[in-house]
Structure 1
Amino acid sequence: METTISLEEILILGDIPENLQGNFLRIANGLIQKAGYSQEKALGLFAQMLLNPKKYAYSKNKVNNLAKDLFELEKQNKKVMLTEAGKVFLPPEPPAYVLDQKASQTKAVFELTDNDLPYQIYGLEHIEEGALKQMKTALSLPISVAGALMPDAHQGYGLPIGGVLATTSNTVIPYAVGVDIACRMCLSVFDIRSDFFKRQPHLLQRTLTDNTKFGMGGEIAHKFDESVMDKVEWTATKVIRNLKDKAYRQLGSSGTGNHFVEWGIIEVLADDDLLAIPKGEYLALLSHSGSRGFGGGVAEYYSKLAMQITRLPKEAAHLAWLDMNTQEGQEYWIAMNLAGDYASANHHEIHNKIAKALGEQPIKRVENHHNFAWKDTLTDGTEVIVHRKGATPAGPNDLGIIPGSMADPGFIVRGRGATAALNSASHGAGRVMSRTKALNSITQSSLKKVLQEKDVHLIGGDLDEAPMVYKNIGTVIAAQTDLIDVLARFTPKIVRMADANRKEKRED
C-alpha cells in the first residue's frame, strides 16, 4: 500500500486558504509517491516554503507554482503564517559563520609619501594622462609596495582601470578592487563547426534572449544550480545578510554597460597543454559580468567606511584602505571573496542553461576574475595584497580572456608570469571615449554600419558601447607580448547586451 498524506496533516502547517488546499494535497502526494519523499520531508519542504514563499517562487523547484500563489497572497498582506507546530518540520539551521574577534580599526589621518616607487607601464603611448596621474598617486600611499599599468588603462575612481597595485599584506583598498567586485569573463567552447551560425542563426539568438537578463530589473525565477546560496559566508555579517535576497533573485543575470553574453567563433591558434583543444574553429559562448547588486552593495558600504576610517588627501581619498587585522577588514575580505564565488556562479547559470537549450555540453570552459584582490608573495619574499582593477591574472599557469568590443575579436591567452607586471595583463581593449561623449557623438547609423561590416547581430546595446569607443585591440595585445601568449582568437557574431533604457552608473 502506497504511503499518502492527508489534508489534516498538511493543515497542521498553517491556515491554508481553501482554494489552495487541493493543490497542497496533490503536490504532497506527488512528492511522496513519485519523488520518493517521506511524509516528514514533504511537510518540511512545505514548511520552508510557507516561511519564505518569495524564495521558492523565484527558483526552479517542485513547489514553484504553489509558492507563487503564496507570494501573491503575501504581497496582498495575506501571508499564510507557519504555525509553531509546523516549525517542527523545518530542517535544522546551518551553522553560522563565525568571524574572528578583531578590534575595530582606529580612525587616522595619513599623508602621501615622497617615495617615487618605480613601476612598469605597458603601452605608454596609448594611455591617457589622467590614468598616469592616478597611478602615481596610488604608488605614493604609505602602504604601497609595487605597481604596474596595463595597456588598456584609463581613468577611473582612485586606482585607474587597468591598474595593478600591491600593498602591504595587512591592507586592502575597496576602491582598488572596484565597484563591480569580481567582474569576470567566462568562455564555453563547443565541439560544433563554425558554420552552425549559417544553419541555425535563429536558434542561437533564441538561446540568448530566453536565458539572459540584464540591468537593475534583471531577476531570474528559475535557477539551474543555486548551491552558491548555501555557503555559510552568507551569515557572516549584517551587510551580507541584508543583500542575500537580492543576490538570490539576481543569480544568473548580467549587469549593464560593457557586460554581455555572446555567441562567436573561436579559432584555436596554438597547441597548449592548459587549453587542451586541437587547432581549428569551434562554436563558443562568451560572457562578461560580475557580482551584480550584491557586489555593488558591498563595494558601496566598505568604500565609504574605508574613507571614514582612513583619511587621505583629497586626490587620494578613494584609495582609503581597511586593515585586514581589524573587524572591518575581515568583513570586507569575506564579502569580496563571497562576491567572487557568486560572480562565478552567475556565469555558470547562464552557460549551463544555454548549453542545455542547445542540447550540447562544452568541451572546455575558461574563466577569470578582474576587479579583485589576491594574497600573493613577491619574488623577494614580501607578502602583499595585489589589487587588479580591470586587469587579468597572468601567471605562468593562468588562462585568461581579453575581449575586444561587440564587433572586434577577443583573445584567449596564457600568462607568462612577468614579475614587473605583477603577473597581470589587460582585461580588454580599454576606452578612448567617455560614455557621455559617446552618446553625444556616435550615431545609430554609424554603429549599424560597423556591425554590418563585421557581420555582427546585436540584441540590445547602446551607443556608449559602440566599437569606436575602444582602443584597437590588436594594438593593445601587441603592447603586452611580454605578459601573455595568444592561444586563440574569438570573433563575436551574435551579441546580447542590456537594452538602452536599462542603464546603471558604471565606472568602466
Structure 2
Amino acid sequence: MEDLTIIALTGTDLKNWGHQPGPQFPDLLARANQMLADGTDVLTIRADLASEIPIPPEHVELHDDGAVPFHENLNPADADEEANLAKVRETMRAVMRTPTVVGGAIMPDACPAGPVGTIPVGGVVAARNAIHPGMHSADICCSLMMTDLGDADPAVVLDAAAKITHFGPGGRPQGGRFTVSLDLLDAFRANPFLNNAKTIRAAQEQMGTQGDGNHFLFVGRSRKTGRTAMITHHGSRGPGAKLYKAGMEVAEKYRRLHSPKTLKQNAWIPADSDDGRAYWDALQIIRKWTKTNHNSIHQATMEAAHASAGERFWNEHNFVFRRGDIYLHGKGATPGWAGFAADADPEGRTIIPLNMAEPVLIVRGADAPHALGFSPHGAGRNWSRTEHMRRLGAKTAQEALIDETAGLDIRFHAGKVDASELPSSYKPAKAVAEQIEAFDLAEIVDWIDPHGCIMAGEMPRFTRRPKGRR
C-alpha cells in the first residue's frame, strides 16, 4: 500500500507510475507537488495525471520474405546481366519486407545502388500512406528537360552552352549568379523542412548549375523533325540534398518508434502526419526549384546562341508520385501515365537518355501495370565504376573516349575525362531500347541523334592540410 504521508514527489515516483522522461517532465513534477502541497492525496494525484501517460507507440512488423512480390521487366542477355539481376533481386526482396510497401517493380536499366535492402536504380516501390526519403535518394528530382531550338546549328548551341552551364561542386560565384524569384524563396522560408539558412543560400548560389556524376548537357537533332534539340540532366543539387537529410532524420524518429526492425535506409514519414504533409509540400517546392534551374540554363543558352525556342518539356525520374493513398517512389524510373504531374507534357512524352554516343529517346509511357506505370530512366550499369576501370585495362580514358565517341563533340567541363561515364560503362543502349518495347513500357516516338554533349568530368581532388599548417 502506498505511503500517503509523502512530503514531496520525485521523478522516480512519476516513472514508477508510467510517465516517460522528456521536455514535459519538469512541469508534470511541479504540478504533482503543487497538488500535494494543496492537500491532495497521492492516489488522487496519480489518478489525475494518468491521462498524461503516453500511449505506447504502435509497432509494425516486417513483411515475411516473399509476401510482397515485385515485377521484373528485365531480360538478362549475358553472364554480366545475370549477375547484376541476381543482386537487384536480392536487394528488392529486402526492400519488399518494409511494412508500408504494397508493390514494386524493376526496369530494364536496374542495377544495385547501395547495401542490400536499398532500392536499386531502375527500381519502383509503392507504399501506402508513407513517404520514404531514402527511396528518392539525395538527388531529389533528378530530371531531364528538352528544348526544340529549330534550325539552330548544333555546334553553335554546344559552344554557347559550354559558356553558360556550370558543373562541379558548389554554386556560381558572386556576380555570376542566376536570379531566384522572391516567391520561390518565400516558399522555402514558409516550409519547416526548407526554412534553413544553408538551404536557402544553396538555392540562390546553385541556380543554373548541374553538379557532377552522370549529369550532362546534350545537343542533337530530332530524327522526326530534323530540328536541333538541347537536353539537360540534373537534379536539385544542394537544396535537394539538404531536404533529403532533414527528411531522413524525421523518418528515423518514426522508424525507432514504430518499426525498429526496418532498415534505416527504408525509414518513412507517415504521409497523413503533420511531418508528412510538410515533407510532401517541400518535395513540390524542390521540384519547382529544379524545373526553374533547367529553364534558366536552357533560356540563357538559347539567347547566347541566338536561337528561337520551340516546344519545351521535362520529366523527373528520382521522385515520389501519388496515386490515391499510394506513394510511388521512383529511383531512376520515369513516370509513364497521363497527368503524372500538372505540368507533364500534354502529349504524354518523356525523355530517356542512353549514353553520350547514342540517341536520347523520346517516349510516350504506357502506364503498364507490371511496371507500376513507369519506364526506365536510362541505360543503367551491369558493373561498378571500379570494375569498368579494370576492364579498360591498359587503355587510357582519353583513348577509350576517342574509340567510343568517334565523330561526336564530347566535352568534360573539368577537363579530365571521367571514364566511368564512357558508353562502355553502361548497359548496351540497343538492348535497353528493345526491352522498353518488348515489355510494353513505353512507345518510342522520336530519337535525338547526338551532335555532342558536356559532362562534368573528373573533378580535382582536394586534400586537407595537416593541422597547424597554412
1:342-361 equivalences in 2 (<5 Å): 342-361=289-308
Matched, 1:176 2:121: no
> Are the counterparts in 2 of residues 263 and 286 from structure 1 also a CA contact under 8 Å?
yes
2:192 to 232, 237, 241: 237
Secondary structure class of the residue paired with 1:281: coil
Q: What is the letter of the counterpart of residue 501 of structure 1?
A: M
The question of whether the paired residues in 2 share the 8 Å contact of 1:394 and 1:484 is answered with yes
Q: For the Cα contact (< 8 Å) 2:193–2:246, is it kept in 1?
A: no
Shift of 1:282: 1.3
Partner of 1:422: 372
**1:452/1:468 Cα in 2 relative to 1: closer, same or farther (>3 Å)?**
closer
| Residues 451, 457 of structure 1: 8 Å contact kept | no
Structure 1 Cα separation of the partners of residues 351 and 127 of structure 2:
25
Question: Per-residue deviation at 1:431?
Answer: 1.4
Residues 232-311 of structure 1: matches in 2 within 5 Å? 232-237=187-192, 239-242=194-197, 243-268=199-224, 280-311=225-256
Calculate the TM-score normalised by the size of structure 2. 0.74
Within the alignment, does 1:212 sit opposite 2:165 as a pair?
yes
The whole-number CA distance in structure 1 between the counterparts of 2:452 and 2:326 is: 41
Pairwise CA distance, 1:255 = 1.2
Cα deviation, residue 373, structure 1 = 0.6
- Which of 100, 108, 119 is equivalent to 1:151? 108
Counterpart of 1:123 (choices 71, 74, 77) is: 74
CA contact (8 A) 2:177 2:207 kept: no
Task: Find the partner of 1:499 among 457, 460, 463.
Answer: 457
Q: Against the structure 1 CA distance between its residues 459 and 361, is the aligned structure 2 distance closer, same or farther, given a 3 Å change threshold?
A: same
Structure 2 counterpart SS, 1:392: strand
Following the alignment from structure 1 to structure 2, what is the Cα–Cα distance between the partners of residues 334 and 145? 23
Q: How many angstroms does 1:145 deviate by?
A: 1.3
Which of 383, 389, 392 lines up with 2:334 in the alignment?
392
- Matched AA of 1:309: Y
Tell me what 1:165 maps to: 125
Q: Distance in 2 between matches of 1:315 and 1:478?
A: 37
Q: Which of 464, 471, 478 is the aligned partner of 2:434? A: 478
**Distance in 2 between the 1:107 and 1:336 partners?**
27
Tell me the amino acid that sits aligned with residue 450 of structure 1: D
Q: Percent identity?
A: 27
Once the two structures are TM-superposed, the CA of residue 174 in structure 1 deviates from its matched residue by 0.4
Deviations 1:320-373 (A, max 9, x none): 111122233233222222111111111000000001112223211121011111
Gapped regions of structure 1 (runs ≥ 5): 1-102, 269-279, 378-382
Q: Distance in 2 between matches of 1:313 and 1:150?
A: 30
DSSP-derived class of the 1:400 partner = strand
Q: Distance in 2 between matches of 1:454 and 1:416?
A: 34
Which moved further from structure 2: 460-469 or 450-459? 450-459
Alpha-carbon RMSD: 2.6
Aligned length: 379
Alpha-carbon distance in 2 for matches of 1:483, 1:213 = 34
Q: Which residue of 2 aligns with 1:413?
A: 363
Return closer, same or farther for 1:206/1:455 CA change in 2, 3 Å cut-off.
Answer: closer
Give the letter aligned to residue 246 of structure 1. A
Counterpart residue number, 1:190: 149
- Whether the 8 Å contact between 2:66 and 2:93 is mirrored in structure 1 is no
User: Bigger radius of gyration, 1 or 2?
Assistant: 2
Query: What is the CA–CA distance in structure 1 between the aligned matches of 2:302 and 2:126, rounded to whole Å?
Result: 38
Q: Distance in 1 between matches of 2:460 and 2:234?
A: 15
1:426-441 counterparts in 2 under 5 A? 426-441=376-391
Provide the rounded CA distance (Å) in 1 between the counterparts of 2:321 and 2:399.
41
For residues 250 and 290 of structure 2, what CA distance do their matches in structure 1 show? 23
Does structure 2 retain, via aligned residues, the 8 Å contact 1:414–1:484?
A: yes
Superposition TM-score, scaled by structure 1 size: 0.69
Distance 2:435 2:404 in 1: 26
Deviation of 1:247 after TM superposition, in Å, equals 1.0
Change (3 A) 1:121 1:110: same
Distance across 1 between alignment mates of 2:426 and 2:261:
30
- CA distance in 1 between partners of 2:195 and 2:61 (Å): 29
1:434 Cα deviation after fit: 1.6
Confirm or deny: 8 A CA contact 2:362 2:448 kept in the other structure: yes
Specify which of 170, 177, 181 is matched with residue 226 of structure 1: 181
Residues of 2 paired with 1:124 and 1:404: CA distance? 17
CA distance, structure 2, for counterparts of residue 130 and residue 315 of structure 1: 20
Residues 109 and 117 of structure 1: CA distance in aligned 2, closer, same or farther (over 3 Å): closer
Q: Which residue of 2 aligns with 1:364?
A: 311
Report deviation, 1:222: 3.6
Counterpart Cα distance in 2 of 1:445 and 1:233: 43
Write the letter of the residue equivalent to 2:105: A
Deviations 1:399-420 (A, max 9, x none): 1100011112220000112122
Question: Could you tell me how far apart the structure 2 residues matched to 1:107 and 1:502 are?
Answer: 49
The residue number in structure 2 matching 1:52 is none
For the structure 1 residues 224 and 282, does the alpha-carbon distance in structure 2 shift closer, same or farther, using more than 3 Å as the test? farther
8 Å contact from structure 1 (residues 455, 493) kept in 2:
yes
2-side partners of 1:135 and 1:496: how far apart?
Answer: 34
Q: Does the C-alpha gap of structure 1 residues 454 and 134 become closer, same or farther in structure 2, counting only changes over 3 Å?
A: farther
